[in-house]
Structure 1
Amino acid sequence: MAGGKMSARQKMINLMYLVFIAMLAMQMSREVLSAFGFMNEKLETNNISTIEKNKQAYANLATKASEQTEKFGKLNTQAKKIKQYSADFYSYLGELKTQMTTDLEDKKAYESMDKTTFLDTYFFKGDNYTPKGQEFLDNINAYRTNVNATLGEGSKFEALINSRFDTNDVIDSDGKTVPWLKYRYEGFPLIASLTNLTQMQADIKNSESEILNSLLGGKLEESLSLNNYKGIVALDKNAYFAGEKVTGKIVLGRYDAEMVPDNVILNGKDYKKIESGQVIIDMPAGNIGNHDIKGKIAFTQNGKVVEVPFESSYSVIPEPSNAVVSADKMNVVYRGLNNPISVSLPGVSDNNLSVSASGGNLTGSNGKYSIKPGSGKIATINVSAKLSSGKTVNSKATFRIKDIPAAMGSVREQYGTVRMPKSGLANSPISAGLPDFEFDLNITVKSFKIKVPGELTIIVNGTTLSAAAKKVLNKAQRGDIINIYDIKATANGYNLKQVLPVNIELTN
């Protein structure tokens, strides 16, 4: 096209060709800008979903901390700090995004957001940063430092946090070292920078979610070092008559039959009766009163001697006066369930006990019973026995009656927010469970509601999606959050009062 004399027709063809190439370039630019906009919308939607999920996790951890302060109190304090750092940084980014789009009449006119002026003047002044640019960097660095400091040195999340909020200099494609802020934000279209900030907000919320999941997993990972073992004294009985021998075992937490100690000190003296990693207690009970059992077990680990202390106590009593009643699961009994109850009286065989109950239906014998509470709030176990001396002992124990806790909806035995393909959800039954509940329950889902974004809620009877539910599900897109809620279920024939929802994030 460039050589020789061209005809008017050839010149026109060449001109049209150049115009066509320019139009393609313009079209590509518009498509890229729109793609950034749609990506920003999707990220913002996902952020909303993650925020709601994190709220539930924070609430769950707070509840556990109130019930078991010693176990979860410190973790809840950590979570509160991370929540505050995350909220402050997330809000700061949100305010910056608002400033970036203040002058735009149409916040979704992505094809017009091709200017670079705002952040180029907001963050940079020549080769240096403006105070606002430095403030932006300081906020990122502060968030990374504060979260890592809260989790503690050596946290398994340290590398993840450092990677997601890294502001170190970058080597560009030409091999030159470029400051991170310039590399990521200088000269970029407005919509690209806006999406970049939304992604950073997503990193904040995802980091919170992953940390919370670890904290709610039942404390942070515990070391298997011998320094964390605890000596446990397990007596055959808690009280003894004068003249009896104290019998039982001393074992280690995380007991291993092949773990034989180098030596044992029991009540200040060397003790040699050791079998299969257990220290077998066999000694006189002593006089009436309280007696201590304490000492240490020594092991060799990595060439060093590690001593594990143990301590317990027992009482020598002249004669029993009260029955010993304990709930096998906890200090409450649950309505609608057969709650196992153990009943014993020191010095009296189980078959010589007379056991009855009020506030529920009692079944069983020989020290092992079950009580199924009624509609009241209190259940009482009454025990009586005639001792060999002829004396009759009467005792009772009172238990609070509680409803079965709220169950959790699940798909494929997963709770909370579950990522899976649309076809998987269409063919998977909706279930429910109580993962932290001590009882084995036969939970049956009777009905549930399914909500697809932008569609009407569908009520489904049974456990699998109906034709109507599958029809609205087919309209969902990748990344949509499908909400399964208002789940009605029974546990061992008892109607559960509440079943928490389960969310499904579609992967295709």
Structure 2
Amino acid sequence: MAIKKRLISPRQKMINLMYIVLLAMLALNISTEVLDGFSIVEDSLNRTTGNATQENVALYRDFEMQMKQNPEKVKAWFEKATSVKLMSDSLYDFAQQLKVAIVKKADGKNGDVYNIENKDNLDAASEVMLAPLTGQGKSLFLRVNNYRERILKMVDDPHQKRIIADNLSTSVPRKARLQGKNWQEYMFENMPVAAAVTLLSKLQSDVRYAEGEVLHTLVSNIDVKDIRVNKLSAYVIPEKTVLYPGERFNANIVMAAVDTTLQPQIFVNGQRVMAHNGQYGFTASGVGEHSISGYILMQNRKGDLIRRNFLQKYSVIPAPNSATVAADMMNVLYAGYPNPMSVSVPGVPANAVSVSMSGGSMTAKGNGHFVAVPAAVGKDVTIHVTARDKGQMRTLPPFVFHVRKLPDPTAYIALGTNRFKGGGMSKAALMGASGINAAIDDGLLDIPFRVLSFETVFFDNMGNAVPVASAGANFSDRQRETFRALSRNRRFYISHVKAIGPDGITRTLTGALEVIVR
């Protein structure tokens, strides 16, 4: 098909020449910090995409398992899930091929997407995506549109539909349209390699997100989790399996996935027991190994009786003559940090127990509670316990603990009692937040750190990273001004968070916290 070229006026030629000169000047002045900002965002996107991929893989495994158990019911939904995987992988892999092509165009045939050398190259993306005969931009545009239209038909939630539609939108801003640009030109024309690769990584992340939303919709339609109750097993769940003479044995005897509207019949040692909500108890006998056995009877939906046998072993031991030392948070102690400890000796009151520690300090807090502060990382500490029992002092075996450095905390934004660690946030909540906090809160520890400084990385309409620093824990005035200008679904990243812990050690946190304005 012949292409009719428009005549270009001398004035337009001059404007084009000035634009080329401007781009050349821009290329000469792209800072290392801006390009490194793209690397930070790229790493964060790759982690997010990796997590989404793992979740999707788990859902596909659920589908495969349920397909084997009940193919008649699951087949239609399994086929839809398979088609979602195929078209998601197709677009994802195509974006990956484009990233590789752009990097190799900039760095040569040995170019590595994960180690880009010529990040500021402004020609590679244009050549790969916009070349008149070989450009892949139009193909990517059509593939994204096709994927978006097909995937939206499989999502029921209107809110999720809007998110997916926005993430995979190929509309062009008004300013770019007035300049005569199409989507691929707006996205890749004169775009630095680092920015072009990051844009394609964002597309891959959006594809995995959309794939996951569709899979969750399909899962909810076939009630994958409800199918699992077809497998019923009997369990004895004891409160403890090691008892002292005269102590009661308490346990829950239940059938897994039991219907709470039906009470099963429980038989122990041939006799039916009235165990309310499956709770059963008896008094332990002499020292040694013991067991209880029996079976459970329960009706299924057809009215048939299902029987499941059970056997539970337990031990009865004499009262111990040794101390128990336990770290309240973890089975390690942290240097320079006040570690809560609980120390007890069975049969001995707390005020008759004395505790000391070599390699640090030990402070009593009363009622068997202590605070241990090891002096140095990597040097084991030994805890010594003595007890006054029936007028005599007993020295019990020592306890050795390894000493480690406090792990790095996680950065978050405090929203009332909630800790925001990435994802979508309303603009009102963002404007109401004071700044950045950091803490170790992995479910075992909850140790606050003091934030000394951090950096936010924004992206302008050209995809350029704009880092803004804060010399403290609070958002700076300039950062807040940028927040006010953010539109819905715009993203920015919080990185280079520097914090100091209760051990007095200052550290710079790795990774970046992604914020999506909702």
**Native 8 Å contact 1:290 1:316 kept in 2:** yes
Higher relative contact order (CA 8 A, sep 6+): 2
Structure 2 partner of 1:355: 355
| Residues 479 and 505, structure 1, Cα contact 8 Å, conserved in 2 | no
The equivalent residue for 1:233 is: 237
Larger Rg: 1
Alpha-carbon deviation of 1:254?
A: 10
In the TM superposition, residue 469 of structure 1 has moved relative to its aligned partner by: 4.0
Q: Classify 1:330/1:91 alpha carbon distance in 2 versus 1 (closer, same or farther; 3 Å).
A: same
Tell me if structure 2 keeps the 8 A contact 1:57–1:212.
no
Q: Secondary structure at the match of 1:395?
A: coil
Aligned equivalents of 1:488, 1:393: Cα separation in 2: 46
CA drift of 1:265 comes to 3.9
C-alpha distance in structure 1 between counterparts of 2:365 and 2:457, whole Å: 47
Alpha-carbon distance between aligned partners in 1 of 2:451 and 2:371, rounded to the nearest angstrom:
26
TM-score (normalised: structure 2): 0.52
Q: Provide the residue aligned with 1:445 in structure 2.
A: 451
Query: Taking structure 1 as reference, are residues 273 and 372 closer, same or farther at Cα in structure 2, changes over 3 Å only?
Result: farther
How far apart are 1:264 and its partner, in Å?
Answer: 2.6
Instruction: Report the CA distance between 1:447 and its aligned residue.
Output: 2.6
Instruction: Select the residue among 41, 47, 71 that pairs with 1:56.
Output: 47
Aligned match of 1:92: 97
RMSD value, Cα: 6.1
Equivalent pairs, count: 383
Map 1:181-196 to 2 at 5 A: none
Q: Percent identity?
A: 18
| Ranges in structure 2 where 5+ consecutive residues have no aligned partner | 1-8, 10-35, 62-84, 107-121, 151-156, 166-179, 189-195, 215-222
In structure 2, what is the equivalent of residue 464 of structure 1? 474
Name the CA shift for 1:316/1:419 in 2 (closer, same or farther; >3 Å). Answer: closer
CA contact (8 A) 1:386 1:393 kept: no
After TM superposition, give the deviation of residue 283 of structure 1 in Å: 3.3
Q: 2:407 aligns with which of 398, 405, 414?
A: 405
Q: Distance in 2 between matches of 1:317 and 1:345?
A: 16
3-state DSSP of counterpart to 1:497: strand
* 352 and 342 in structure 1: CA distance in 2 versus 1, 3 angstrom threshold: same
Do the aligned residues in 2 keep the contact of 1:50 with 1:205 (CA within 8 Å)? no
Aligned to 1:290: 289
Question: Where does 1:425-504 land on structure 2 (aligned, <5 Å)?
Answer: 428-453=434-459, 457-470=467-480, 481-490=491-500, 497-500=507-510, 502-504=512-514
> How far apart, CA to CA, are the structure 2 residues paired with 1:456 and 1:194?
22
Q: Deviations over 1:165-191 (max 9, x none)?
A: xxxxxxxxxxxxxxxxxxxxxxxx996
Deviates more, 1:251-260 or 1:365-374: 251-260
- Output the CA distance in 2 between the equivalents of 1:320 and 1:54: 54
Q: Measure the CA separation in 2 of the matches of 1:400 and 1:325.
A: 14
SS of residue matched to 2:97: helix
Distance in 1 between residues matched to 2:280 and 2:336, nearest whole Å: 42
Q: CA deviation at 1:262?
A: 1.7
Question: 1:491–1:206: structure 2 CA closer, same or farther, 3 Å change rule?
Answer: same
**Alpha carbons of 1:417 and 1:194: their partners in 2 closer, same or farther (altered >3 Å)?**
same
CA distance in 2, matches of 1:229, 1:492: 48
Native 8 Å contact 2:324 2:344 kept in 1: yes
Question: Which structure 2 residues correspond to residues 104-503 of structure 1 after superposition, within 5 A?
Answer: 202-208=202-208, 223=225, 231=235, 233-235=237-239, 238-241=242-245, 244-250=246-252, 261-266=263-268, 268-270=269-271, 272=273, 274-275=275-276, 277-286=277-286, 288-293=287-292, 297-300=296-299, 302=301, 313-318=313-318, 320-359=320-359, 360-376=361-377, 377-385=379-387, 392=394, 394-411=396-413, 412=415, 413-418=419-424, 421=427, 424=430, 428-453=434-459, 457-470=467-480, 481-490=491-500, 497-500=507-510, 502-503=512-513
Alpha-carbon deviations, 1:389-434, whole Å to 9, x = none?
9794612332223333222222343223555559945964222344
Aligned AA for 2:97? Y
Q: TM-score, normalised by structure 1?
A: 0.53
The answer to whether the 8 A contact 1:354-1:384 is kept is yes
Task: Tell me if structure 2 keeps the 8 A contact 1:447–1:462.
Answer: yes
How many Å separate the matches in 2 of 1:331 and 1:494? 22
Q: 1:313 to 1:393 in 2, by over 3 A?
A: farther
Shift of 1:468: 4.3
- Label 1:439 to 1:51 Cα distance change in 2 as closer, same or farther (>3 A): same
